């Protein structure tokens, strides 16, 4: 039961408290698989990140338009528009925002394409949560992404 004067659920208050305490560490997870999306959200919140989620490329971009995000974790294979469509839109509109590309359908050509199109990192599912957290932290510490010449994109 919620106490009077305390709006929202315990989870919402916890996320808001963390958001108030952090200057960075806002992660958007775009994943169409419900179980994976919930797992990543809960795990990353436990790691101290403020996490937003989206179940499609479109809803991910709408979320990105509406609030500041420091790092995206984007699945490749999704219905309608795939992760490459979101990666392209993020590179055009938010070139300083790192995108960590993840997929269960990892192939060398997909990894190469993701990195050439501007992904900060590429992870093949299944991956260890510690590896994802390390990549998120590396992205947060890296500053603006660089192109092949070393110039900020």
Residues 96-112 have pLDDT tens digits of 999 999 998 888 999 99
Whole-number pLDDT of residue 24: 54
> Residue 30: how many CB atoms within 10 A of its CB?
27
Q: What is the mean pLDDT of residues 119-132?
A: 95
Percent of the chain topping pLDDT 90: 67
- State how far the Cα of 1 lies from the Cα of 114, in Å rounded to an integer: 46
**Mean pLDDT across the chain:** 84
Give per-residue burial for 9-18: e unless 16+ CB within 10 Å, then b: eeeeeebeeb
| Residue 48 banded pLDDT, cuts 50, 70, 90 | very high
Domain boundaries, the chain: 18-140
Whole-number pLDDT of residue 105: 86
The sign of the torsion formed by the CA atoms of 41, 146, 148, 89 equals positive
Percent of the chain topping pLDDT 70: 77
Whole-number pLDDT of residue 148: 42
14 touches 31 (CB < 8 A): no
Could you tell me where the DSSP H helices lie in the chain?
Answer: 10-21, 34-46, 57-66, 83-93, 108-116, 129-142
| Residue 52 banded pLDDT, cuts 50, 70, 90 | very high
pLDDT at 137 over 50: yes
Q: What is the mean pLDDT of residues 140-153?
A: 57
Helix (H, G, I), strand (E, B) or coil at 119: coil
Domain 18-140 in CATH 3.40.50.2000? The answer is no
81 or 38, which is more confident: 38
- State how far the Cα of 23 lies from the Cα of 8, in Å rounded to an integer: 22
pLDDT digits (tens, 9 = 90+) for 3-19: 444 456 666 655 555 55
**Overall pTM > 0.85:** no
């Amino acid at each position: 039961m919620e106490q009077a004067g305390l709006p929202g659920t315990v989870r919402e208050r916890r996320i808001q408290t963390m958001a108030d305490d952090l200057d960075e560490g806002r992660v958007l997870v775009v994943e169409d698989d419900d179980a994976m999306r919930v797992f990543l959200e809960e795990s990353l919140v436990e790691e101290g990140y403020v996490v937003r989620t989206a179940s499609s490329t479109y809803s991910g971009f709408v979320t990105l338009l509406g609030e500041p995000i420091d790092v995206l974790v984007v699945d490749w294979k999704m219905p309608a528009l795939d992760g490459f469509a979101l990666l392209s839109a993020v590179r055009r509109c938010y070139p300083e925002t790192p995108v960590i590309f993840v997929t269960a359908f990892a192939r060398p050509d997909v990894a190469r394409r993701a990195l050439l199109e501007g992904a900060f990192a590429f992870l093949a599912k299944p991956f260890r949560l510690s590896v994802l957290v390390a990549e998120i932290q590396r992205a947060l510490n890296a500053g603006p992404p660089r192109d092949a010449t070393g110039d900020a994109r």
